[in-house]
Amino acid sequence: MSDFYKKILENNKKWVEEKLQINPDFFNNLAAGQTPPLLWIGCSDSRVPANEIIGAEPGEVFVHRNIANMVVHSDMNMLSVLDYAVNVLKVKHVIVCGHYGCGGVKAAMGNSSIGIIDNWIRHIKNEYRLHQNELNAITDEKERFNRFVELNVKEQVFNLAKTSIVQNAWKVGQELSIHGWVYGLNSGYVTDLGYNFSCDKDLDSVFQLEF
Ligand code: ZN
């Protein structure tokens, strides 16, 4: 067994002991059920751990992660997580959190084929196409990359709002806000990008569903 592999097993034992020292019922309480107020949709990037960034304890965040924090309306994995979070757990908030330096977004700006992931990256390329006038006008490549990360988050927040799951929750008066954040790998800070919605009035009418 590699040292790393051994270390993570030992770390787990230490973590359990620490938690039990603080609260002997810590795991019994968690085993009884979960009522997290938040669904986090983030990037799979190992440097963007949902719970740690926001100081959340186990039981406080329901998490879905994929490459470049995408909300793809035919992705059954994302839809299942979203449906369970909204309709069973009744989360009050959904946060889409992107991050500067995102490899998926970077790949979408280039032409290199990486493999099967090209087909996932294509969803991100579609967002580039939507904002190409603004993005192509930015001459500094780093700045353009950063802006694309932000615009991708914006589009994923809108994609969330367009789902039947979120719109149905709003229609029945369920309290549900969706937000777009970006995380700075260099600083550790998140920025609320100001794309906050709690109803469908800001969607193009063609996307507003009637139930
Ligand atoms: Zn990423």
Asked whether residue 47 falls in the same domain as residue 28, the answer is no
Is residue 208 situated within a structural domain?
A: no
Catalytic residue check, 97: no
Question: Could you give the percent of the chain with pLDDT greater than 90?
Answer: 97
Asked if the model's pLDDT at residue 201 lies above 90, the reply is: no
> Of residues 47, 73, 118, 122, which has the active-site annotation?
47
Q: Which residue has the tokens 């190992």?
A: 46
168, 211 Cβ separation under 8 angstroms:
yes
Reported as a single tens digit per residue, the pLDDT across 143-161 is 999 999 999 999 999 999 9
Q: Quote the DSSP letter at residue 176.
A: -
- Full domain range(s) for residue 191: 34-200
Residue 110: give its domain's CATH number.
Answer: 3.40.1050.10
Q: What is the DSSP string of 13-32?
A: HHHHHHHHHH-TTHHHHHHT
Count of residues making up the chain: 211
Asked whether residue 77 falls in the same domain as residue 29, the answer is no
Catalytic residue check, 199: no
Asked if the model's pLDDT at residue 192 lies above 90, the reply is: yes
Asked whether residue 103 falls in the same domain as residue 170, the answer is yes
Instruction: Kindly give, in sequence order, each residue whose CB lies less than 8 Å from that of residue 74, ignoring residues fewer than 6 positions away.
Output: none
What tokens appear for 70 in the block? Answer: 């995408």
Task: Give residue 99's Cα distance to chain centre.
Answer: 10
> Of residues 64, 93, 97, 102, which has the active-site annotation?
102
Q: What's the CA-to-centroid distance between 69 and ligand 1, angstroms?
A: 7
Asked if the model's pLDDT at residue 202 lies above 90, the reply is: no
Provide the domain count of the chain: 2
What pTM does this model have? Answer: 0.96
Is residue 176 situated within a structural domain?
A: yes
Is residue 211 situated within a structural domain?
A: no
Q: Which residues of 11-36 are buried (b: 16+ CB within 10 A; e: fewer)?
A: eeeeeeeeeeeeeeebeeeeeeeeeb
Is residue 207 situated within a structural domain?
A: no
Asked whether residue 144 falls in the same domain as residue 184, the answer is yes
> What ranges make up the beta strands (E) of 52-102?
61-66, 93-99
Q: What's the CA-to-centroid distance between 182 and ligand 1, angstroms?
A: 11
Catalytic residue check, 102: yes
Q: Look at residue 1 in the predicted model and tell me its pLDDT.
A: 82
Is residue 63 situated within a structural domain?
A: yes
Asked whether residue 43 falls in the same domain as residue 142, the answer is yes
